[in-house]
């Protein structure tokens, strides 16, 4: 999914600092919202999300420069927006350490992935508590919308920043990036199905793990079966 696969030096130092400061502000706000102590269960789930995220970020589909599934909206649904922000930050730091994007890309990638976490969580919550949608539909919709927005956000970040030593104009860069965004959006739809199925499965065996995202008085666990996807999303 959406990820800035660029090495150090692709962005000017000015933009590396700007994106880094925005990412730092997001992380600081997340820490503020989290407050003091966190439940041990939440920390364990967050640690598992970090481990899975680091691995899955490295598994690339060799098309359009490398695409992959992130599962970041799912992480937001499981651990919430605050802890999810810290999870994706750690994932991006470890990814940069093993060459999956430069160190200067931690800021831009953190912004993109935090967007996926926030939209994944809040859209899922909206679908479940207000629209009374089932888990598969809610997971699919939240992940697909979140990943579509993040794919377009990557286009905006790269186009605004510009690529050093590139002869392309901003308009040309934007047009070329739209092709990558289209591929990412298609991948996002696939990840939406994956997220929907995982959320449905978790809801069957451990519904308590979804309690925060579904609210204290979420809808009844009425469908959560594979047949929902076949009936139409």
For the domain that residue 185 is a member of, what is the CATH number?
1.10.1760.20
**Per-residue DSSP letter, 225:** S
- Please report, in tens digits, the pLDDT of each residue of the chain (233 residues total): 567 778 888 899 999 999 999 999 999 999 998 887 778 888 999 999 999 998 888 777 665 555 678 899 999 999 999 999 999 999 999 989 987 778 999 999 999 999 999 999 999 999 999 999 999 999 999 999 999 999 999 999 998 988 887 777 777 778 888 888 888 888 899 999 999 999 999 999 999 999 889 976 544 444 444 444 444 44
Output the furthest CA–CA distance in the chain (Å, rounded).
56
Please indicate, yes or no, if residue 6 is contained in any of the structural domains. Answer: no
Is residue 198 a contact partner of residue 137, using CB atoms and an 8 Å limit?
no
Please indicate, yes or no, if residue 137 is contained in any of the structural domains. Answer: yes
Please indicate, yes or no, if residue 7 is contained in any of the structural domains. Answer: no
**Per-residue DSSP letter, 133:** -
Q: How many CB atoms lie within 10 A of CB 95?
A: 21
Is residue 71 a contact partner of residue 195, using CB atoms and an 8 Å limit?
yes
Q: What is the pLDDT of residue 220?
A: 46
Please indicate, yes or no, if residue 23 is contained in any of the structural domains. Answer: yes
Please indicate, yes or no, if residue 4 is contained in any of the structural domains. Answer: no
Please indicate, yes or no, if residue 110 is contained in any of the structural domains. Answer: yes
Q: Which two tokens stand for residue 16?
A: 């590396």
Q: What is the pLDDT of residue 26?
A: 96
Of 171, 150, 173, 151, nearest to 11 by C-alpha is 173
Report the distance separating Cα 127 and Cα 6, nearest Å: 35
Is residue 161 a contact partner of residue 12, using CB atoms and an 8 Å limit?
yes
Tokens 């990558």 map to which residue? Answer: 180
Is residue 77 a contact partner of residue 207, using CB atoms and an 8 Å limit?
no
H-helix or E-strand spanning residue 48:
helix 40-57
Q: Which two tokens stand for residue 98?
A: 């093993």
Q: What is the pLDDT of residue 200?
A: 95
Taking CB atoms within 8 Å and a gap of at least 24, the contacts of 92-97 are: 94/50, 94/54, 95/54, 95/57, 95/58
Structurally, the chain folds into a number of domains equal to 1
Q: What is the pLDDT of residue 225?
A: 41
- Under 8 Å CB-to-CB from 69, ≥6 apart: which residues? 1, 56, 59, 187, 190, 191, 194
State which residues form the domain around 113: 13-231
Give, in order, the Cα–Cα distances in Å from 88 to each of 165, 179, 201: 30, 25, 23
Please indicate, yes or no, if residue 1 is contained in any of the structural domains. Answer: no
């Amino acid at each position: 999914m959406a990820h800035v696969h660029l090495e150090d030096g692709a962005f000017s130092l000015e933009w590396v600092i700007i994106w880094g400061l925005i990412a730092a502000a997001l992380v600081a706000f997340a820490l503020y919202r989290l407050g003091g102590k966190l439940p041990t269960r939440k920390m364990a789930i967050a640690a598992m999300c970090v481990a899975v995220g680091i691995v899955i970020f490295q598994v690339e589909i060799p098309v359009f420069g490398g695409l992959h599934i992130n599962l970041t909206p799912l992480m937001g649904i499981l651990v919430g927006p605050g802890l999810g922000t810290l999870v994706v930050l750690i994932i991006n730091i470890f990814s940069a350490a093993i060459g999956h994007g430069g160190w200067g890309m931690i800021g831009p990638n953190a912004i993109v992935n935090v967007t996926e976490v926030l939209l994944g969580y809040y859209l899922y919550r909206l679908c479940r508590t207000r629209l009374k949608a089932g888990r598969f539909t809610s997971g699919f919709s939240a992940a697909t919308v979140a990943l579509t927005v993040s794919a377009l956000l990557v286009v905006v970040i790269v186009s605004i920043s510009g690529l050093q030593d590139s002869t392309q104009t901003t308009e040309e860069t934007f047009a070329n990036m739209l092709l990558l965004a289209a591929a990412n959006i298609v991948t996002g739809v696939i990840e939406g199905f994956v997220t929907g199925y995982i959320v449905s499965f978790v809801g069957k065996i451990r519904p308590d793990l979804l309690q925060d995202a579904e609210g204290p008085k979420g809808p009844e666990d009425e469908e959560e079966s594979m047949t929902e996807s076949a009936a139409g999303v």
